[in-house]
Chain A
Amino acid sequence: MIYPRLIPCLLLDKNGDMVKTINFIRESRRYIGDIENAVKIFNEKQADEIIVLDIDASSERLEPKFDIIKKIALSCRMPISYGGGIKNLDQAKKIISLGVEKVVLSSVIFENINLVKEISEFYGSQSVAVCIDILFINNEIKLFSHNGNKYHSDHNILDLIKKIQEKGVGELIINSIDRDGTMSGYNLEYIDNIYKNILVPLTLLGGAGEVDHFKDVIKKIAVSGLAAGSFFIYKSKKKGVLINYPNKKTIF
């Protein structure tokens, strides 16, 4: 029997500092601490997996942070997904060779969706995930990229999901901009419309603030991953920094 993964999602800024945002807003960024240290703690707590996203790389056209990836991967006895700034197969190869299980593509899928296919043909689907940043307003799913700076009015989420699945994606991460950093729970209103079209493991990101928020999702859908930032780095909704990981027995 397979269990949903509880996944801390850690954000890096262009300086390599670990930060946390609210609704992706630049001014909301708060410095949290040293990412290597945080990863070590999650490793000791035997977290299911971690996702590390460089949120400045694509919008500022920077390379993936290979030095940080290398340091993190060495001490990790858990799977790592890394995203941010990946534009070609060579970068993906370098990241995977450093000890990362999955590369996460996001902004690049609006520019060169074939990269999904290139990576999945070389490594297999299991090594490539796509993260879609969405804003749910007026009962409509709007798609964004480049850390929320670019709106793609010409794209429809169902078509996009269909296309990336055809290209061989191995995991879909849906990141809710409107719930990011709010700790108010995952947005499940939009999920019915897209859930039945998803043929790969689905991970939700954005909004978790308490254990019950994970339970709310599990009750509704067979989700593969429950990812969160604030939940794992703040002690409570008062947002005192405390790296933490729950006992899974309290959830499943």
Chain B
Amino acid sequence: MIGLLDIGVGNINSFYFFYLENNIKIKIIKSTEEITEDIDKIILVGVSSFDTMMRALNNLNFTNFLKRFVQNEQNKLLGICCGMQVLGDSSNEGKLSGLGLVQGNNFLLKNKIKPHLGWNNLLINNNINNKIISSVEKKDLFYFLHSYYFDITDLCANVIFADYDNYKIPSIVIKKNIYGVQFHPEKSHDSGKKILLNFYNL
């Protein structure tokens, strides 16, 4: 079952009702004690700044829990928006350390116009074949809203990019059982639905 971390900084209702509409029951988790044996997938949502999110994860003891959780490769973790950025080691947006699950750091976008705001497509690469992007095509549009980008240096990770004014924006990261998406699948209509259902079906 999917567990949705509610650390007080994200928009969890959209996810809860998305899955409910698709007849999938998920569990909202506010503390580590609420994580039961049947939780084998976790969604980490952040509409947040880096430090606000890490502070919440640290205070609730989720940081250590998540590091242990992904050691079991049967478990799956999906970080969304700031939830993808905190998978990394650090961010120029803040001072706190990230989860360190995917090597790389977050930097302010180099574009003149920031944030990267709007609907963008992914530069789908045939070399990356993963169930999380099953049936996702080049024409699928996703809603992006972010000022920082995750510069992924992890050699074990696969990255799918989007193009924003000739800058390549890391948009999906896949490292074994760890997944991250920079855009908001919960707000991306039918294209986003594919990603969220693919995660459920992993």
Q: What is the interface of chain A, defined by CB distance below 8 A to chain B?
A: 1-5, 46, 48-49, 73-79, 96-102, 121-127, 170-171, 198-201, 222, 224-225
Contact = CB atoms under 8 A, between A and B. Distances in A.
20 contacts: A1-B163, A2-B144, A3-B118, A74-B14, A76-B14, A77-B189, A77-B192, A79-B143, A79-B145, A79-B184, A97-B8, A99-B14, A100-B11, A123-B47, A123-B49, A126-B147, A170-B114, A170-B117, A200-B113, A222-B113
Contacts of B14: 73-74, 76-77, 99
A62 B175 CA distance: 48
B114 A199 contact: yes
Nearest to B162: A2
Contact of A96 (B47, B141, B188, B190): B47
Nearest to A202: B113
B113 A199 contact: yes
B30 interface: no
B11 A97 contact: yes
Nearest to A3: B119
Nearest to B13: A99
A76 B21 CA distance: 12
Contacts of B52: 122-123
Nearest to B10: A97
* Secondary structure dominating the interface of B: mixed
Interface in B76-98: 82, 93
Given A79-B145, A98-B13, A124-B147, 16 more contacts: A2-B116, A48-B118, A73-B14, A77-B187, A96-B11, A96-B47, A101-B184, A102-B145, A123-B47, A125-B115, A126-B145, A171-B115, A200-B113, A200-B114, A201-B117, A224-B117
Interface residues of B, number: 42
Interface of B: 8-9, 11, 13-14, 17-18, 47-50, 52, 82, 93, 112-121, 141, 143-148, 163-165, 184, 186-190, 192-193
B7 to A, nearest CB: 11
A199 B113 CA distance: 5
Please give me the 4 A-B residue pairs with the lowest Cβ-Cβ distance, nearest first. Answer: A124-B49, A201-B117, A126-B115, A46-B189
Contacts of B163: 1
B104 to A, nearest CB: 18
Contacts, number: 115
Interface centre among B82, B117, B119 (most CB of A within 10 A): B117
Nearest to B193: A77
Contacts of A97: 8, 11
A96 B11 CA distance: 7
A1 B115 contact: no
B192 A2 contact: no
Nearest to B108: A125
A127 B121 contact: no
A58 B90 CA distance: 39
A121 B49 contact: yes
Interface centre among B18, B50, B141 (most CB of A within 10 A): B141
A101 B47 contact: yes
A73 B120 contact: no
B13 A73 contact: yes
Given A76-B14, A79-B184, A170 B115 contact: yes
A201 B111 CA distance: 11
